[in-house]
Amino acid sequence: MTNFWTGKKILLTGGAGFLGTHIVENLLEKRAVSKDQIVIPRKESSDLRIWDNCRKAVENIDVIIHLAARVGGIGFNQKYPGTLFYDNIMMGVQLIEAARMAKIEKFVQVGTVCAYPKFTPTPFKEDDLWNGYPEETNAPYGIAKKALLVMAQAYREQYGMNIIYLLPVNLYGPGDNFDLDSSHVIPALVRKFTEAIGRDEKQVIIWGTGKASREFLYVEDAAEGIIASTEKYNKRAPVNLGSGKEVTISQLVKTIADITGFKGEVVWDTSKPDGQPRRCLDTTRAKIEFDFEAKTNLVDGLQKTIEWYQKTSKEIDD
């Protein structure tokens, strides 16, 4: 427990989304934060791409955790690169500037692992962030987010603004986006295998070769890491948030197929891109600076995610 949150008004952008709902739950249940301390702007009435909305959103706020982002999987990134760049950079730039003008006490900017260079040596260290260009399919999104790190550091230097920057790896868990047009790899696989079983299909087609690797962080762990950093971290250097565990896509596919009970054939569509060849973070800095370590192993997290999805999809069908 910490008294950091006592009496503070918190602006949580993206608070109604996948990660945001878990942060709210953590704040309410583990930090004794009350509901009236948390302000969650909604896109319908407070589009953060519009300057006046950002200015109004920060009024009477003490702490900002900026999660709101336009995101998607490889296919979505390829289809909407301009949208991803514009929406993410405009929301971040305007909200940071509005926060500076309002003299906000603390600003937490949540970035992305997509900001790292395509061929970063694994495990990715924060100091490697500028040693190359991001993987092409997610570069517009990654660069938009990385530009906010530059802004954060510049505002700290010039204005003394207490703004920190986090680099979470791929997240997953209950409440994720399972829309096949925009989802990331784990929810897409969970849905594909679950639906194949329901339709008695003998084959599932998966993008790429299966050789690429990824690291995944269970959403409840990510929420804890973000909250812990808000409470304890006050430096200019970016910080990785991850599990530190690397898995190939082919291994991931086998694990999800086994948990869902899919017995058919997996067909790799090698005409589709793999994305970044490898992803695995060095999480030493998070452990040293605010004692964060992921608690949920991948198999347990996948089981919880699959159970949630299958229960939720069944309720929708009923």
In the prediction, which pLDDT does 72 show?
82
Q: Could you tell me the pLDDT band of residue 317, with boundaries at 50, 70 and 90?
A: low
Sheet holding 246-248, edge to edge: 170-172, 213-218, 246-248
Residue 285 C-alpha from the chain's centroid: 18
In the prediction, which pLDDT does 184 show?
87
Q: Could you tell me the pLDDT band of residue 2, with boundaries at 50, 70 and 90?
A: low
Residues above pLDDT 90, as percent of the chain: 90
Residues 73-132 have pLDDT tens digits of 888 889 999 999 999 999 999 999 999 999 999 999 999 999 999 999 999 999 999 999
Contacts for 48 with CB less than 8 Å, ≥ 6 apart: 13, 41, 54, 57, 68, 90, 91, 94, 95
pLDDT at 244 > cutoff 60? yes
Please give the C-alpha separations between residue 41 and each of 53, 56, 226, in angstroms, as whole numbers. 9, 10, 19
Residues 63, 11: Cα–Cα separation, whole Å: 6
In the prediction, which pLDDT does 223 show?
98
As a whole number, mean pLDDT of residues 142-158 equals: 98
Neighbours of 85 (CB within 10 A): 19
pLDDT at 289 > cutoff 70? yes
Name residue 63's beta-bridge partners: 10, 106
Residues 66-84 have pLDDT tens digits of 999 998 888 888 999 999 9
In the prediction, which pLDDT does 318 show?
54
Residue among 141, 172, 218, 233 flagged as catalytic: 141
Candidates 68, 306, 72; CA nearest to 174 is 306
Q: Could you tell me the pLDDT band of residue 10, with boundaries at 50, 70 and 90?
A: very high
Neighbours of 311 (CB within 10 A): 11
In the prediction, which pLDDT does 42 show?
86
- Lowest pLDDT segment from 40-49, 106-115, 200-209, 233-242: 40-49
Q: Could you tell me the pLDDT band of residue 234, with boundaries at 50, 70 and 90?
A: very high
What's the mean per-residue pLDDT of the chain? 95
pTM flag (> 0.85): yes
- Lowest pLDDT segment from 42-51, 62-71, 150-159, 259-268: 42-51
End-to-end CA distance of the chain: 42
Residues 301, 218: Cα–Cα separation, whole Å: 6
Residues 204-221 have pLDDT tens digits of 999 999 999 999 999 999
Instruction: Parse the chain into domains and list their residue ranges.
Output: 10-172+216-243+279-295
Has 141 been annotated as catalytic? yes
Q: 10-172+216-243+279-295, superfamily in CATH?
A: NAD(P)-binding Rossmann-like Domain (3.40.50.720)
In the prediction, which pLDDT does 119 show?
93
